[in-house]
């Protein structure tokens, strides 16, 4: 008998391209049928056929407290009762803006938007408006949403499905985007010496999470900072994934580098559609209605999304929150690495705060090229075998994974036992 999941997938393909509303959900690179979920609680979620999974995707990052955290759900319910949207300012927007500015010293002003793509696109437009320049620099394998200018040699689903530079982007638009190698200082210095005065912005994930997980070398980010300062270019940190995920001060706190603009999303919306971009007042004040850079959104600062974000941000400020999360995530990555070692599988893993990378190769990758050398087929086998064991990792070798505070020691142990069963039969 066909499962309900299979029936839903077949029907969805009739009405939704590929049966999914975002390509990374499609299981195209790992093969098989995407799973339709109906309920989540804590570290677990359940598919439509009733099978449960330990979730290491967490909606691709937002669910740092796990599924349906009672305080977040309560905040959402209370906000919804008072109206779903006003299209006008609210006190809660001020509260979250003040909080973001307080937690991130690089942010003097912030604007809320509804998606991470919107945040990235708006930050780039703002940087161009502020500098009066057109060129931007991004790094191969980094993904900053699906804005035309940024969808060049991108990571995440674009990389997973073999279209890192999307069709439909006019070459004139992409011509202003220069793509360099992540963690390569020589390339950076060369491009700045040639085009420095034409570069509006450099956008970078300070810990890349869209080509699996690759940590920036401290020198690389420090060089970026000093070149941007020297040439008057805007340094944009894309902290959509790392923001309030790797620590309360985000990646910029870990690396002790102050970007000019920061993009945030995922955790700050607590699972609701909310993102933000913010930074130096002088730059932010170029935005309409004060300045000539236009940016707008009917649902920006939506009261229900802001309520979820505020409730989540309150929880992450608890003492020891990030220490506990980081320790739990390491327990997972170190545990997996030692199980793999026991069975002579070429595998390694690492984490930063509550995000992690798993690699089927001998050494931790430091660049896009290193990631490409990992064994993707081995990842796909591992993914499916773990799925069979009730453990859900991202359905792509090019995505970071996430642990939440809802994951218990027992959940991690169960995961490691499952990995042990998988690697025992590894040939």
Complete DSSP assignment for 104-150: -TT-SEEEEES-HHHHHHHHHHHHHHHHT--EEEEETT----S-GGG
> Does the active-site annotation cover 130?
no
In Å, what is the CA distance from 121 to each residue of 171, 264, 354, 398, 420?
17, 12, 26, 22, 43
Figure out which of the listed residues 66, 157, 243, 309 binds ligand HOZ, where binding follows CB under 6 A: 157
124-153 residues near ligand HOZ, rule: CB under 6 A: 143
Both structure tokens of 387: 């799925």
393 near 29, Cβ under 8 Å?
Answer: no
277-306 residues near ligand HOZ, rule: CB under 6 A: none
266 near 245, Cβ under 8 Å?
Answer: yes
* Binding status of residue 118 toward ligand HOZ by CB under 6 A: no
Closest CB 120 distance from ligand HOZ, rounded Å: 11
- What counts of helices (H) and strands (E) characterise the chain? 15, 16
Each residue 3-22 as x (binds ligand HOZ by CB under 6 A) or -, in order, gives -------------------x
From the list 9, 130, 143, 359, the catalytic residue is 143
Task: Please return the burial class of 102, using the count of CB atoms within 10 Å of its CB with bins 0-12, 13-18 and 19+.
Answer: exposed
Closest CB 68 distance from ligand HOZ, rounded Å: 20
* Closest residue to ligand HOZ: CB criterion: 22
* Binding status of residue 184 toward ligand HOZ by CB under 6 A: no
Strand partners, 180: 139
Choose between 208 and 311: whose C-beta lies nearer to ligand HOZ: 208
Measured CA to CA, the distance from residue 81 to residue 216 in angstroms comes to 44
> Does the active-site annotation cover 266?
yes
* Binding status of residue 210 toward ligand HOZ by CB under 6 A: yes
Figure out which of the listed residues 8, 24, 264, 305 binds ligand HOZ, where binding follows CB under 6 A: 24
Helices 409-424 and 376-388: crossing angle in degrees, nearest 10, is 120
* Binding status of residue 26 toward ligand HOZ by CB under 6 A: no
387 near 47, Cβ under 8 Å?
Answer: no
From the list 266, 359, 392, 411, the catalytic residue is 266
Choose between 22 and 408: whose C-beta lies nearer to ligand HOZ: 22
Which residues are designated catalytic? 143, 238, 266
Name the residues that contact ligand HOZ, by CB under 6 A: 22, 24, 60, 143, 156-157, 210, 399
């Amino acid at each position: 008998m066909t499962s309900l999941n299979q029936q839903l997938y077949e029907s969805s393909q009739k009405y939704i391209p590929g049966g999914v509303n975002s390509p990374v959900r499609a299981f195209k690179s790992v093969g098989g049928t995407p799973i339709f979920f109906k309920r989540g609680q804590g570290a677990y979620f359940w598919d439509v056929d009733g099978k449960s999974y330990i979730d290491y995707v967490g909606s691709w990052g937002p669910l740092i407290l796990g599924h349906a955290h009672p305080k977040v759900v309560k905040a959402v319910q209370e906000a919804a009762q008072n109206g779903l949207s006003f299209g006008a300012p609210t006190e809660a927007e001020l509260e979250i803006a003040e909080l973001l500015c307080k937690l991130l010293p690089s942010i003097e002003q912030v604007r809320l938007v509804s998606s991470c793509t919107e945040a990235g696109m708006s930050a780039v437009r703002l940087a161009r408006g502020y500098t009066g320049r057109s060129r931007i620099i991004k790094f191969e394998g980094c993904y900053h949403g699906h804005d035309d200018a940024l969808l060049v040699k991108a990571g995440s689903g674009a990389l997973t499905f073999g279209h890192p530079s999307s069709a439909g982007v006019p070459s004139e638009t992409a011509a202003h985007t220069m793509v360099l190698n992540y963690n390569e200082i020589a390339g950076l210095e060369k491009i700045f010496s040639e085009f420095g005065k034409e570069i509006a912005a450099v956008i970078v994930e300070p810990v890349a999470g869209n080509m699996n997980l690759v940590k920036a070398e401290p020198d690389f980010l420090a060089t970026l900072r000093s070149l941007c300062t020297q040439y008057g270019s805007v340094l944009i940190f894309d902290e959509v994934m790392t923001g309030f995920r790797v620590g309360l001060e985000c990646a910029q706190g870990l690396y002790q580098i102050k970007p000019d603009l920061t993009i945030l999303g995922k955790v700050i919306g607590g699972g609701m559609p909310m993102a933000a971009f913010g930074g130096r007042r002088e730059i932010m004040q170029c935005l309409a209605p004060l300045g000539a850079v236009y940016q707008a959104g009917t649902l920006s600062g939506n009261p229900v999304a802001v309520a979820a974000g505020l409730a989540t941000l309150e929880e992450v400020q608890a003492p020891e929150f990030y220490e506990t999360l980081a320790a739990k995530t390491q327990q997972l990555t170190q545990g997996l690495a030692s199980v793999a070692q026991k069975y002579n599988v070429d595998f390694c893993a690492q984490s930063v705060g509550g995000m992690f990378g798993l690699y089927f190769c001998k050494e931790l990758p430091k660049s896009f090229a290193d990631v490409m050398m990992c064994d993707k087929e081995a990842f796909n086998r591992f993914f499916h075998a773990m799925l069979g064991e009730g453990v859900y990792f991202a359905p792509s070798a090019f995505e970071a994974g996430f642990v939440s505070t809802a994951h218990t020691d027992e959940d991690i142990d169960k995961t490691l036992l499952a990995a042990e069963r998988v690697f025992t039969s590894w040939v």
